[in-house]
Chains A and B, each alone.
Chain A
C-alpha cells in the first residue's frame, strides 16, 4: 500500500497570498496518477487536479499541480476567500487507492 504524507497539517495564510501544499509518497506513484481534492465543511470533496498537473473541468487557473515519482505539490497562486478549506491528495495508480491525511488552509 502506498502511504501519502501531506505537509504541513495546517497552513495559515491571508487572502491574496500563495499557498504551497506538499504530498509525499512512500513509493513511486504509477504514471503520476495523483489527484488533489478540496473539501469544505459539510460538503463532498471536489476534484481539483488529476494526473499530477491537469486541472479538472471548471477549476480556476490559480490552482496548479506539479511533481512526479514520490513528491507532489499543489499551488494556489493567490488565495481567494473561497479557497480556505481542507485539501487531500490521492493516488489512484495502484490498489488500494490511498489518500493523504489532509492539509487545512485557514485564514490567518
Chain B
C-alpha cells in the first residue's frame, strides 16, 4: 500500500525557515518524480515544486522560486522542502504527492495519483 506521510509543519514567524519532510513507502520511491502541492485555508490547490526521480530536473512555482528548495534522498525514501524567508501568504496545508507513472526525467510527465494527508504550515508573528 502506497503511503506518503508529511511532517515538519508548525507555527513560524515571518522571515524564518522551516523544513518539511515526506516519508514514502509501498512503492519504489527512486523510480518516481515527486511533488509538493499546497492549499491555503479555504482556498484552492497550488503546485509548489517537483523533482524528477534522479533529481536531474527540478521545478518551482514563481511564488516560491528563490526561497524554497526541493530535494530527495532515495536511500531514505524521503522527499524534502526547505522553506526560507517565509511569508504570511505561505500559510497552507502542504501535501506531498507522487507521479502516477515512473521514469519521468522531468517534472512534467504524469498526473498525481497518491497524496499524503498534509502538514500545516502557519506563518505568523
Seen from chain A, the residues whose Cβ lies within 8 Å of a Cβ on chain B are: 1, 30, 33, 35, 37, 39, 44-47, 50, 56-57, 88, 90, 92-102
Beyond contacts A46-B115, A95-B106: 17 other A-B pairs, Cβ-Cβ < 8 A, are A35-B111, A44-B116, A44-B118, A45-B112, A50-B100, A50-B111, A90-B45, A90-B111, A92-B111, A92-B112, A95-B107, A95-B108, A97-B35, A97-B108, A99-B44, A99-B46, A102-B44
Minimum distance in angstroms from A101 CB to a CB of chain B: 5
Query: Is there an interface contact between A47 and B113, defined as CB atoms closer than 8 Å?
Result: yes
For chain B, which range describes its interface: under 10, 10 to 19, 20 to 34, or 35 or more residues?
A: 20 to 34
Query: Is there an interface contact between A98 and B47, defined as CB atoms closer than 8 Å?
Result: yes
In the complex, A90→B100 CA distance in Å? 14
In the complex, A45→B95 CA distance in Å? 10
Interface 1/0 per residue, B101-123 and A, CB below 8 Å = 00000111111110111100000
Knowing A33-B108, A44-B95, A50-B100 are in contact, say whether A96-B115 is a contact too (CB < 8 A). Answer: no
Q: Which of B20-28, B59-67, B68-76, B80-88 contacts A (4 or more CB under 8 A)?
A: B59-67
In the complex, A52→B45 CA distance in Å? 19
Q: Which residue of A lies closest to B59 (CB)?
A: A95
Knowing A44-B116, A44-B117 are in contact, say whether A96-B100 is a contact too (CB < 8 A). Answer: no
Chain A residues within an 8 Å CB radius of B46: 99
Knowing A44-B95, A47-B100, A92-B108 are in contact, say whether A97-B47 is a contact too (CB < 8 A). Answer: yes
